[in-house]
């Protein structure tokens, strides 16, 4: 059912009740806009400034090696008016279940402040924010969650009887009447730029309190300037109208790279400026513009005492609880993959913006499996240390929920399970060949969130399962640079790319073109490409591939590294030597990979300084010798963004490999005659590395790509025939 619906339409249509005293009409007629605005600001607390002035705190310690702490402020703004029909039942439950999940992931309950009832007010939020801010240090993860309504400026109005602007009394002057004219500077324009507003719980029936988007952005700035990574969860109507990433960009001198939505930010009261060393920011928007949001209720069926949750808050809690990696990007992808029927009675779109989607939401290390009185016990199949082997594709999962509160909802791999009053559940699943991960998620009346995962192995063709998606190869060969550019031509890139394309097509089933949704065919072979050619191809491909698809991007050409900024580049053929603005920067490539819907992406870069192109921590170990196919399947099933480069922060050879570069020659040889039919990119790198270091003074590198949505997997090659 609809949630956060702006029932204040009644405020504008309800007739004046008999006996209600109006304000003096003669006085009203003589009031200036400034006087009306002063009355508006007095009647609605929080309209005209930040939550509190920036405190004079000592700099964050930023001690080397300090382990971050997860902190949270969860605001349940459920009763902005004394009219009970305008109250919400879900916000309190939203905060409690989110805290339960975070504690299960390693956060400490005492570091998460739940603001409910009278505490979900301006005073309560100010107190909680100042206390949390004083405790926050570098590397902490601060989560600000809001559950309730949203008001735009047109709904802020004074009443005829002087009661709360959120009462049902008729209105005499609206905030938009006092400003907002695009042809003049209205006296309320600086307040209007702070919209929209979250109405908070008032201290008294005649009171009205709001938190503006501008004030929320200022609060975010203060936390980020303490060195904390901030995540904001908005389970409110028209959440995208807050545009927090744009407000933050306006005060960000460093201009961090954003995965963002379009828009603008108006001028308002003075705002704090982000420190160059400020922490990251992520915003989870629970609703699109004009969407009031919805609620979900448990248990399903005819029960009278159902628990109510915001659809987005519930989906977020479930995604975080069941996510293997717990990164910002993984959580959002998990939310978007949930069936809408499992979250609410109607579709609801969720979006996010982040400066670093690869960050873990929870700063603490993950705890070992809980052994207390709150857990899920699997009765069938009988648990073992290894994946349970099955010979039939269908399996029944049976188990029990041990918890303080009675279970009200149990899901197995996202589908509702049968649940009896004693807490026992069962569900039937269809298995695919190889390793199947089974995840059980349960909620109780005490807002406990409990999860348990295990694996089941179904005998069958694992390679067929891994190969269900399509594989695409983008091959970029820049060889002939523009005359007068100051950049010398190369001899081997086109031949390297053509030879690689043939092997990938013939041996591994890659496609070097793709049919776009409009019927056009996109050629993925680019020779002597400009920056525009490369960018357009990657962006168009990103929209066409699916989550089970694989994308390999090969680049052969000049590369460059700028010592002053630490930036690395590919050089398109229209580049000019020394003019970095004409180069293709690594951050642009990373953004393209982040937007790409494919499950696994491998970048192979054969250029000078390619080891600096997409830097991150080093990759993990290759799959173990035992149960290789199962290990490869696990890697293939986890999202990956990895890069294999021809060298580190040094020049590399063009040639020296019998008509190919040294690196390309080694790569082609290993792909022509692989040791195994299936192998990971990490394994391929190890074999190429051994060949290259014997032939030249360069060391190929392999690692995950920072900021592109890597979730711990790897790119897996599968030859179409046994080698």
Return the pLDDT at 256.
45
pLDDT of residue 467: 67
- How far lies 563's CA from each of 3, 82, 568, 613, in Å? 53, 62, 9, 13
Length of the chain: 723
Find where tokens 């039942």 sit: 89
- Note the Cα 601 to chain centre separation in Å: 18
Query: Residues 140, 447, 315, CA angle at the centre, nearest 5°?
Result: 70
Which two three-digit tokens encode residue 430?
Answer: 């269809």
Give the pLDDT confidence score for residue 401 in this predicted structure: 92
Cα 468 to Cα 434: distance, rounded to the nearest angstrom? 13
How many CB atoms neighbour CB 516 within 10 A?
13
Q: Six-digit token pair at 703?
A: 């690692």
Closest CA to 169 of 44, 345, 15: 15
- Cα first-last separation, the chain: 57
C-beta of residue 680 within 8 angstroms of C-beta of residue 622: yes
Structural contact between residues 245 and 283, judged by C-beta atoms closer than 8 angstroms: yes
C-alpha of 580 from chain center = 31
Strand order in the sheet with 449-458: 388-390, 449-458, 434-444, 407-412, 415-416
pLDDT of residue 302: 63
CA distance 322 to 326: 9
Determine whether 453 is exposed, middle or buried from the number of CB atoms within 10 Å of its CB (0-12, 13-18, 19+): middle
* Three-state SS at 646: coil
CB 417 within 8 A of CB 410: yes
Handedness of CA 50, 52, 57, 63 (dihedral sign): negative
Phi, psi of 227 (to 5 degrees): 90, 10
Instruction: Evaluate whether 676 touches 608 at the Cβ level (below 8 Å).
Output: no
Distance between CA atoms of residues 456 and 630, nearest Å: 11
For 410, the 3-state DSSP assignment is strand
Mean pLDDT by 10 residues, the chain (723 residues): 41 30 49 77 85 84 84 94 81 96 94 96 96 94 96 80 76 76 57 87 83 94 95 95 92 53 41 85 92 86 80 93 88 79 67 89 79 78 64 88 91 91 91 87 93 84 75 94 89 93 94 89 94 93 90 91 81 91 87 87 82 56 66 86 76 59 91 89 91 80 85 89 66
Q: CA 477, CA 493: separation in Å to the nearest integer? A: 5
Specify the pLDDT at position 387: 58
Instruction: Count how many Cα atoms sit within 13 Å of the Cα of residue 179 in the half-sphere of its side chain.
Output: 19
* CA-based nearest residue to 705, from 581, 593, 574, 551: 593
pLDDT recorded at residue 19? 28
- Whole-number pLDDT of residue 339: 65
Q: How many CB atoms lie within 10 A of CB 452?
A: 19
d(CA 63, CA 54): 23
- Whether the bond between 666 and the residue before it is cis, its omega within 30 degrees of 0, is no
Q: Give the CA distances from residue 454 to residues 383, 487, 505, in Å, rounded to whole numbers and listed in that order.
A: 8, 55, 37
Task: List b or e across 376-386, with b for residues whose CB sees 16 or more CB atoms inside 10 angstroms.
Answer: bebeebeeeee
Which candidate, 329, 334, 306, places its Cα nearest to that of 318? 334
Share in percent of the chain as helix, strand, coil (round to 5): 30, 25, 45
pLDDT score of 265: 36
Instruction: Provide the 10 A C-beta neighbour count for residue 181.
Output: 11
Nearest to 606 by CA among 552, 634, 570: 570
Q: In the beta sheet, which residues pair with residue 640?
A: 600
What is the pLDDT, as a whole number, of residue 533? Answer: 94
Q: Pairing relation of β-strands 640-645 and 678-680?
A: unpaired
The tokens describing 246, both together, are: 């744009």
Burial of 572 (0-12, 13-18, 19+ CB in 10 A): buried
Tell me how far the alpha carbon of residue 648 is from its chain's centroid: 30
Cis bond before residue 196 (omega within 30° of 0)? yes
Q: With beta carbons less than 8 A apart as the criterion, state whether 172 and 27 touch.
A: no
Which residues are within 8 A (CB) of 502 and not within 5 positions of it... i.e. 6 or more apart?
Answer: none
Integer Cα distance of 620 and 634 in angstroms: 14
Given this model, what pLDDT does residue 357 score? 87
Phi then psi for residue 298, to 5 deg, are -135, 145
**Distance (Å, rounded) from C-alpha 632 to C-alpha 677?**
11
CA distance 667 to 654: 14
Partners of residue 570 on adjacent β-strands: 559, 584
Looking at residue 179, its pLDDT comes to: 67
Measured CA to CA, the distance from residue 191 to residue 694 in angstroms comes to 68
pLDDT for residue 258: 37
Burial class (CB in 10 A: 0-12, 13-18, 19+), 617: exposed
């Amino acid at each position: 059912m609809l949630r956060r619906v702006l029932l204040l339409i009644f405020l504008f249509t309800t007739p004046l009740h008999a006996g209600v005293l109006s304000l003096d009409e003669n006085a009203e007629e003589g009031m200036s806009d400034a006087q009306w605005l002063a009355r508006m600001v007095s009647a609605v607390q929080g309209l005209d400034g930040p939550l509190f002035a920036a405190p004079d705190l000592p700099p964050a310690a930023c001690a080397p090696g300090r382990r971050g702490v997860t902190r949270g402020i969860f605001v349940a703004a459920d009763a902005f008016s004394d009219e009970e029909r305008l109250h919400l039942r879900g916000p309190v439950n939203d905060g409690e279940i989110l805290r339960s999940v975070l504690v299960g992931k390693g956060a400490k309950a005492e570091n998460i402040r739940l603001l409910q009832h009278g505490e979900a007010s301006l005073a309560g939020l100010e107190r909680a924010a100042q206390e949390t801010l004083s405790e926050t240090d570098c590397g902490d993860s601060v989560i600000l969650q809001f559950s309730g309504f949203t008001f735009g400026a047109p709904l802020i109005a004074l009443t005829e009887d002087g009661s709360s602007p959120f009462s049902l009394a008729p209105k005499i002057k609206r905030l938009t009447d006092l400003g907002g004219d695009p042809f003049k500077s209205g006296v309320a324009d600086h307040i209007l730029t702070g919209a929209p507003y979250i109405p908070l719980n008032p201290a008294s029936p005649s009171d009205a309190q709001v938190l503006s988007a501008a004030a929320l952005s200022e609060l975010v700035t203060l936390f980020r300037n303490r060195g904390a990574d901030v995540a904001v969860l908005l389970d409110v109507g028209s959440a995208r109208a807050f545009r927090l990433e744009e407000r933050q960009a306006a005060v960000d001198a460093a201009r961090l790279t954003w995965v963002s939505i379009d828009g603008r930010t108006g001028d308002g009261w003075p705002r704090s400026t982000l420190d160059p060393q400020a922490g990251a920011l992520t915003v989870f928007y629970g609703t699109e513009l004009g969407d009031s949001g919805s609620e979900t209720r448990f248990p399903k069926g005819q029960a009278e005492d159902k628990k109510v949750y915001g659809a987005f808050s519930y989906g977020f809690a479930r995604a975080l609880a069941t996510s293997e990696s717990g990164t910002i990007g993984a959580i959002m992808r998990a939310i978007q993959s949930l069936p809408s029927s499992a979250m609410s009675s109607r579709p609801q779109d969720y979006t996010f913006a982040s400066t670093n989607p690869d960050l873990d939401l929870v700063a603490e290390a993950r705890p070992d499996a809980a052994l207390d009185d709150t857990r899920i016990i699997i009765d069938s199949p009988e648990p073992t240390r290894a994946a349970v082997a099955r010979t039939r594709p269908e399996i029944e999962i049976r188990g029990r929920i041990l918890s303080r509160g009675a279970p009200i909802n149990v899901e197995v791999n996202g589908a509702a399970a049968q649940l009896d009053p004693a807490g026992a559940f069962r569900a039937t699943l269809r298995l695919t060949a190889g390793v199947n991960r089974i995840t059980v998620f349960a909620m109780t009346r005490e807002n406990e969130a409990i999860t348990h995962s295990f694996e089941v192995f179904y005998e069958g063709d694992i390679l067929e399962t891994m190969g269900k998606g399509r594989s695409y190869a983008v091959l970029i060969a820049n060889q002939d640079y523009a005359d007068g550019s100051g950049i010398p031509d190369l001899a081997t890139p086109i031949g390297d790319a053509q030879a690689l394309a043939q092997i990938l097509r013939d041996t591994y089933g890659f496609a070097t073109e793709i049919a776009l949704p409009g019927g056009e065919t996109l050629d993925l072979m680019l020779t002597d490409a400009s920056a525009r050619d490369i960018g357009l191809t990657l962006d168009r491909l990103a929209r066409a591939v699916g989550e089970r698809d694989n994308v390999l991007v090969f680049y052969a050409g000049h590369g460059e590294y700028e010592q002053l900024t630490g930036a690395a580049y590919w050089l398109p053929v229209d580049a000019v030597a020394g003019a970095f603005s004409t180069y293709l920067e690594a951050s642009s490539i990373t953004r393209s990979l982040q937007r790409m819907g494919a499950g696994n992406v491998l970048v192979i870069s054969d250029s000078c300084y390619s080891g600096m192109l997409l830097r991150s921590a080093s990759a993990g170990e290759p799959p173990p010798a035992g149960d290789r196919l199962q290990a490869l399947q696990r890697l293939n099933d986890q999202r990956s963004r990895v890069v294999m480069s021809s060298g580190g922060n040094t020049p590399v050879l063009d040639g020296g490999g019998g008509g190919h570069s040294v690196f390309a020659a080694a790569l082609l040889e290993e792909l022509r005659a692989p040791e195994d039919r299936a192998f990971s990119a990490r394994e391929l790198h190890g074999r190429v590395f051994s060949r290259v270091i014997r032939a030249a003074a360069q060391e190929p590198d392999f690692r995950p790509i920072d900021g592109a949505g890597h979730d711990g997997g790897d790119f897996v090659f599968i030859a179409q025939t046994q080698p």
